[in-house]
Amino acid sequence: MAGVRGTRRLVSLVALVALVGSACGDEGEPQAAPTSVEAVADAYVAVLDAMLPDDPVSEDPVVVYVWQFVENPMSLDDQVVVIDGLAEQFDVRFVDQADAAVDPDTTLVPTRDDGLLVGLGPVTIDAPHTVRIEIYTSEVDIDAYLVTLVRGDDTWTVMAQEPVDPEVLGAVI
């Protein structure tokens, strides 16, 4: 009996060590959960930086309206993290409703200020972390992607972008 009990303790200890190790980074430091505020804002910066087109013609930053189709949108402080993270390339403006970023009185309902409307879904809690992004230029020009992210020590890296059918922006505008 002592052999079975000792084996169970050893298996439990190995499982505990594996669990603790999986919650730590390369240096053994605990990693922030992807649901933490900073982690989500930083994840959105990584997604937007990877997915938004550069505009080499204009000297002015491209206007990007960001609308989150999530249950609990980011706080104003977190929005500032996103705005600051992209400030060199983009003039990021958060909107509470997607239709606030479009001009309904113009043919094909383009975005205001010749910009883009970007819809962002939630960052999934479990790895692989994914985010749905939809990029709207007009009612006939909507691109959508499922973006896969990996969280490193303090950064998010986009690992893959899979084109998918738009589901959200076309339905709300």
Would you state the pLDDT for residue 36? 52
Which of these, 121, 116, 148, 149, lies nearest to 133 by C-alpha position?
Answer: 121
Q: Encoding tokens for residue 16? A: 């505990």
Would you state the pLDDT for residue 38? 53
Cα distance between residue 70 and residue 79, in whole Å: 14
Q: What is the pLDDT of residues 113-153, one digit of tens each?
A: 989 999 999 999 888 899 999 999 998 999 999 999 998 88
Would you state the pLDDT for residue 172? 87
Confidence of residue 56 (pLDDT cuts 50, 70, 90): low
Cα distance between residue 123 and residue 125, in whole Å: 6
User: What's the whole-model pTM score?
Assistant: 0.76
Cα distance between residue 127 and residue 159, in whole Å: 12
Residues 52-69 have a mean pLDDT of: 86
Please give the single-letter amino acid code of residue 100.
A
Q: What is the pLDDT of residues 62-109, one digit of tens each?
A: 999 999 999 989 999 999 999 999 998 999 999 999 999 998 888 888
Q: Encoding tokens for residue 18? A: 């594996």
